[in-house]
Amino acid sequence: AQSVSQHNHHVILSEAASLELGCNYSYGGTVNLFWYVQYPGQHLQLLLKYFSGDPLVKGIKGFEAEFIKSKFSFNLRKPSVQWSDTAEYFCAVLHYGQNFVFGPGTRLSVLP
Amino acid sequence: GAVVSQHPSWVICKSGTSVKIECRSLDFQATTMFWYRQFPKQSLMLMATSNEGSKATYEQGVEKDKFLINHASLTLSTLTVTSAHPEDSSFYICSATLPTSTDTQYFGPGTRLTVL
């Protein structure tokens, strides 16, 4: 069965620092990859997704993610974080014919 | 577009009672809705997939008689936690997919259930 891991449980950064959140999945083959964000007190929102094509995908709010098939990874990046980026970030994988599998989440705290 | 709502957002009930949680797609028709459970500091665990007009498909380990799911219309799915116990206390989240784009889910705000 597919499993998704996220490297860090809690990341603390100062404003303007660069961000990279790791995500790895276990199952090969054709997958669709997602990053969702959950701001405090709000519901999950889609940040970006990868289905095919250019492995570097750009999402909302300056986020981007790179799909590296050989490493089964889909890391999320942002060059300069803001205090408003404080949230929980979830990586998710959809394997053809199966259901979404979510990673455990990474809590990002950005200090002003 | 693609807004999903849940009601109630927070419910407290006594052990042994039943609780119904509603999930609505506000501006689109959702042929498929999903119910997740999220424990503190953990990820979302899929409980069941709900298809309009048919029985829900439950994930392994989820008691279908305890977590009753009804998807009676294209905009409404309900989850009823029957004879709730304290261990059922959790955050329940629903999501829905667009008929034209089933690969992307849109999530509701979640319902926090506390069973005393």
Record: contact B44-A90, CB cut-off 8 A: yes
Residue-level pLDDT at B55 = 87
Q: B41 vs chain A: nearest CA distance in angstroms?
A: 8
Record: contact A49-B106, CB cut-off 8 A: no
d(CA A99, CA A102): 10
**CB within 8 Å of A23: residues ≥ 6 apart:** A4, A5, A6, A7, A33, A35, A73, A74, A75, A76, A91, A103
The torsion angles phi and psi of B56, rounded to 5 degrees, stand at -75, 155
Residue-level pLDDT at B80 = 97
* Tokens read off for B54: 């048919």
Work out the end-to-end distance of chain A between its first and last CA atoms, rounded to an integer number of angstroms: 41
Residue-level pLDDT at B34 = 93
Q: Kindly report, residue by residue over A7-63, the tens digit of the pLDDT.
A: 889 999 999 999 999 999 987 778 889 999 999 878 888 899 998 899 999 999 999
d(CA A74, CA A66): 5
Peptide bond into B8 cis (omega under 30): yes
B26, B103, B111: which to substitute to probe chain A, counting the most A Cβ within 10 Å?
B103
Instruction: Please give the residue that has the higher pLDDT: either B2 or A12.
Output: A12
Interface of A with B (CB under 8 A): 4, 9, 32, 34, 36, 42-46, 49, 51, 90, 94, 99-100, 102-105
Question: Half-sphere exposure of residue A105, counting CA atoms within 13 Å on the CB side?
Answer: 20
B43 Cβ under 8 Å from any chain A Cβ: yes
Q: Kindly report, residue by residue over A47-73, the tens digit of the pLDDT.
A: 999 988 999 999 999 999 999 999 999
Residue-level pLDDT at A80 = 97
Q: Kindly report, residue by residue over B46-68, the tens digit of the pLDDT.
A: 999 988 888 899 988 999 999 99
d(CA A58, CA A75): 12
**Tokens 């799909």 — which residue?**
A67
DSSP codes, chain B? ---EEEE-SEEEE-TT--EEEEEEESSS--SEEEEEEE-TTS-EEEEEEEETTSPPEEPTT--TTTEEEEEEETTEEEEEE-S--GGG-EEEEEEEEETTEEEEEEE---EEEEE-
Across residues A79-91, what is the average pLDDT? 96
Among the partner residues A94, A102, A103, nearest to B103 by beta-carbon distance: A94
* Tokens read off for A59: 């999402």
Pairing of strands A73-78, A64-68: antiparallel
Residue-level pLDDT at A97 = 66
d(CA B10, CA A104): 23
Is residue A33 within a helix (H) or strand (E), and if so which, with residue range? strand A31-38
Q: Kindly report, residue by residue over B6-45, the tens digit of the pLDDT.
A: 999 999 999 999 999 999 999 888 888 999 998 877 778 8
Task: Check whether B1 has a pLDDT greater than 80.
Answer: no
* Tokens read off for A19: 């961000």
Question: Half-sphere exposure of residue A106, counting CA atoms within 13 Å on the CB side?
Answer: 25
